[in-house]
A and B are shown apart, each in its own frame.
Chain A
Amino acid sequence: MNLKLWISCGVAALATSAAAQDSNALAVDGEALLTEAAAPLHMENVDTIYSGWRFRASETQALQSDDFDNPGMIFVDQAIDLWAKVDGSEGKSCASCHENVEDFAGLRPTLPRVEDGELVTMENIINECRTERMGAEPWKWSKGNMTAMTALIGLQSRGMPVNVAIDGDAAPFWEKGKELYYTRVGQLDMACSNCHEDNYGTMIRADHLSQGQINGFPTYRLKNAKLNSSHGRFKGCMKNIRATPFKEGGEEFKALELYLASRGEGLAVETPSVRN
C-alpha cells in the first residue's frame, strides 16, 4: 500500500477512536519506540523520516513487538554467552573489563564516530578490544559472532534516539558518505537515493521500498534467518543494482554508514529489528 495512504488511514483511525491501538505504533513488550520523526535539517528532499519497520507487513511487524517472538533475540542470547567466554592469549573475556553490558547503553546511537582522525564503527571497537586487549583473533565483519555481539551491545540502547556527530572531525567522512549516497553506480546506473529517497513507499516488484534507515541494525532478516550487518545490507543493495560492492568494513561503507545514521537522527534504535 502507498505509504501516504497508509499514514492517512492511520491518522483517520486515530481521529475516530483515540483509545484504539494505532497499528503504526511500535511497542516492544510495552515500551514504545519512535518510528517517525521530522527529518534532520541536512536532508533537503525529505520532510519526515520513517523507520523501516513502518514499511513491513503486519506479520513481520508483530514479530518485533515481542522479544520472545523476535528471532534476533536468539543471537542476543548467544552473545550473552560469548560475553563471558574467555578468548585469546590474555585469558580475558569481555566481562573481565566491562562488568555489565548494560554500561554500553547510549553507545549505539552515537556510532560511527571519529577517533584519532579515523571513523570507527562498533565492529571496529569490538575488534580493537579483541586484538589489543584480549590477544584474540578479530571477528569477521558480518559473521555470526560479530553480529550477535553488536546486537547485544546495540540492544542496551534500544529506544534511544539516533544522534551521530556530523560536524568537526566527522565532516569530511560525512561528505564522502553523502557523495556515495547520491552517486549512480553499476549496470543499472542507480544511486541509493533513487530508491530510498525518490521512491520510498512504492513497490519495487514484491518489495515495499523503505527509506533505507539503519536504526534497527543488526537486523534479523526472514530471508536468511540470521542477523545482518548494515555493511552486509549495503553489499546486497549494490549487488541488486549490478554494481561491484565495496568491501565490508572499508572506508566507503563506513562513511556511508555515518551518512545513513545521520539521515535517521531522532529515530529510536530498534536493534535487533526484524525485516523481510
Chain B
Amino acid sequence: MAKGVKPRVKVPKKASAGETITIKTLISHKMESGQRKDGDGNAIPRSIINRFTADFNDQNVIDVTLEPAISTNPYFQFEAVVPESGEFKFTWYDDDGSVYDTSKKIEVS
C-alpha cells in the first residue's frame, strides 16, 4: 500500500430531485510513473491509481481509466443528477492492488 493515500470528496449534503450537482474528488497519491530512477539508478516501479469509479445506490455513474502521465494527487470533478436520496460510493484502484473507497450520503427533497 502506497504511503499517505487519503481520499477526499465534496458532495452537497442536500439537493432537490432532478437537480444537477457538482461533485469534487481528490485522492492524495504519488502517481509514480515508472519512468523515474532512484539515487542508485534503479527504475522505481510504476504505482499509479489506474481506475476511478463512482456509484450511486449501487448503480455506476462514472468509470475512468487513468494513465501514467496523470500527475500526482488526481482530481476529478463531475456533475450528476440525483433522482432520490442515497449514497455515493467512490472507489480508487491502485496498481499495487490496494483499493481505496469512501462514501457520502445525499438527501434529496
Q: How far is the CB of B48 from chain A (nearest CB, A)?
A: 15
Q: Which of B6, B10, B24, B71 is the one whose CB lies under 8 Å from A77?
A: B6
- Residues in B lying within 8 Å of A, measured CB to CB: 4, 6, 8, 10, 24, 26, 28, 71-73
Query: What's the count of A-B pairs with C-beta under 8 Å?
Result: 21
Q: Are B73 and A71 in contact (CB under 8 A)?
A: yes
B10, B28, B71: which contacts A74 (Cβ < 8 A)?
Answer: B28
- A residues sitting closer than 8 Å to B (CB atoms) are 68-69, 71, 73-74, 77-78, 225
Give A255 to B53 CA distance when docked, in angstroms.
Answer: 50
B72 near A68 with CB under 8 A, answer: no
Q: Which of A71, A74, A77, A78 is packed against the most chain B CB atoms within 10 Å?
A: A74
- Residue of A whose beta carbon sits closest to that of B4: A78
Known: A68-B8, A68-B10. A74 touches B73 (CB 8 A): yes
Residues in A neighbouring B71, C-beta threshold 8 A: 225
CA distance A74 to B72 in the complex (A): 12
B73 x A225 contact (CB < 8 A): yes
Extra pairs beyond A68-B8, A68-B10, A225-B72 (12, CB < 8 Å): A68-B24, A68-B26, A69-B24, A73-B8, A74-B26, A74-B73, A77-B6, A77-B28, A78-B4, A78-B6, A78-B28, A225-B73
* Closest B residue, CB atoms, query A68: B10
